[in-house]
Amino acid sequence: MPTYQRRESLARLLAALDAQTHPRGDFEVIVVDDGSTDGTREYLAGMRPAYALRHFAQPNSGPGAARNLGVAHARGAIVVFFDDDVVPDPHAIAAHVAAHAAAPNTVVIGPMLPPRAWPRPAWIRWEEDKLLKQYSAMIAGAYACTPRQLFTANASLERHRLVAAGGFDPTFARAEDVELGYRLRDMGSQFAFEPNAAVTHYPRRSFASWRRTPYQYGRGDVAMHRDKGHQALGLAFWEFHRRHVLNRGLARLSVGRPLAFVPVTLGLRALVRVADALHERRVARAALSALFNLLYWQGVADGLGSRDEVWRAVALHPRVAA
């Protein structure tokens, strides 16, 4: 578990690990403090849980580097990743272990479920809705679990395959887990969604932090496609044609054109805040989807070098298979 400036939520997570049904003598917990200054290191030094706990610290280098450090010290055959803002269900570790026993060479992905009676803003609810839609589709067999669902807030895999893949690429500011997933797939790993390996997710993200995410995903997909040979952009081009017509139109109008992009995104940001304050969830969701789409494609345009490159590529990939 990488952690940064979240001592209180980390404490909640570690307490939940003490309540796992899987034998506590059969797993170890490794926490990597990624340069926190909130007393995390002192808190960890005073911990005495029933399971084996080891903790390490590094200068702030990002979650990918922190996970690599943790994996380097791990002794178990299976590595389970949790983020420091989740609370695993009592059966979560047991469900991960059982899934690997049933299907070796599998990357197991568990759901991040929204909490009950916990206030959060519209942009957090939007993310929850998108994830729940994915989970329902995978359970229904509408589409298979793929590297794109590899979110290390709740995932597991065999340690030797993770090491053989080279671990996480710390140069990725976002989607370093998805990028690893593509490499694992290319090495022959399968991906499986395990509904019983559930965690409850308690994210605390500002609207500004949320807005940085799609842009970073866009830049990251370009890097994955161009530098790593992954399918990230091809899938994005395929999906663009299936977006709402208004979202497609806003993107073609605004991306790469500052005189249009700035006022459109500012207007959508204002609409989200007003709709959230008035509890108009449907309006907020629509505005957030449009804003996410715009920011993602702006990231792609900046990564490729121009808006013309984006729309030329979209036109050439109308039906790329997922």
Q: What is the pLDDT of residues 230-249, one digit of tens each?
A: 877 888 888 898 899 999 99
Higher-pLDDT residue of 193, 238: 193
Instruction: Encode pLDDT of 268-313 as tens digits.
Output: 999 999 999 999 999 999 999 999 999 999 999 999 999 999 999 8
Measured CA to CA, the distance from residue 160 to residue 162 in angstroms comes to 5
Q: Give the predicted TM-score (pTM) of the model.
A: 0.90
Q: So what's the pLDDT on residue 228?
A: 87
Instruction: Please give the average per-residue pLDDT across 84-92, as a whole number.
Output: 97
Q: So what's the pLDDT on residue 320?
A: 45
- Residue 322 pLDDT greater than 90, yes or no: no
Instruction: Encode pLDDT of 38-70 as tens digits.
Output: 999 999 999 999 999 999 999 999 999 999 999
- Residue 152 pLDDT greater than 60, yes or no: yes
Q: So what's the pLDDT on residue 318?
A: 63
Q: So what's the pLDDT on residue 232?
A: 79
Q: So what's the pLDDT on residue 319?
A: 58
Mean pLDDT for the chain?
93
Q: Choose the weakest-confidence range: 8-17, 25-34, 141-150, 257-266.
A: 141-150
Measured CA to CA, the distance from residue 307 to residue 201 in angstroms comes to 36
Instruction: Encode pLDDT of 96-136 as tens digits.
Output: 999 999 999 999 999 999 998 888 999 999 999 999 999 99
Instruction: Please give the average per-residue pLDDT across 202-219, as a whole number.
Output: 94
Measured CA to CA, the distance from residue 274 to residue 137 in angstroms comes to 31
Question: Percent of the chain at pLDDT above 70?
Answer: 98
User: Which residues make Cβ contacts (< 8 Å) with residue 249, sequence separation at least 6?
Assistant: none
Among 267, 294, 287, 26, residue whose Cα is nearest residue 17: 26
Q: So what's the pLDDT on residue 169?
A: 93
Measured CA to CA, the distance from residue 91 to residue 199 in angstroms comes to 10
- What DSSP character marks residue 110? -
Residue positions counted in the chain:
322
- What is the distance of C-alpha 275 from the center of its chain? 26
- Residue 190 pLDDT greater than 60, yes or no: yes
CB 107 within 8 A of CB 181: yes
* Architecture of the domain delimited by 2-201: Alpha-Beta Complex (3.90)
List helix spans (H) across the chain.
7-17, 40-45, 63-73, 92-102, 122-140, 159-165, 176-186, 207-223, 232-240, 245-254, 258-277, 281-304, 307-316
Task: Give start-end residues of each CATH 3.90.550.10 domain in the chain.
Answer: 2-201
Instruction: Please give the average per-residue pLDDT across 153-160, as a whole number.
Output: 96
Instruction: Please give the average per-residue pLDDT across 162-190, as a whole number.
Output: 93
Measured CA to CA, the distance from residue 226 to residue 229 in angstroms comes to 6
Q: Which two tokens stand for residue 221?
A: 């997909």
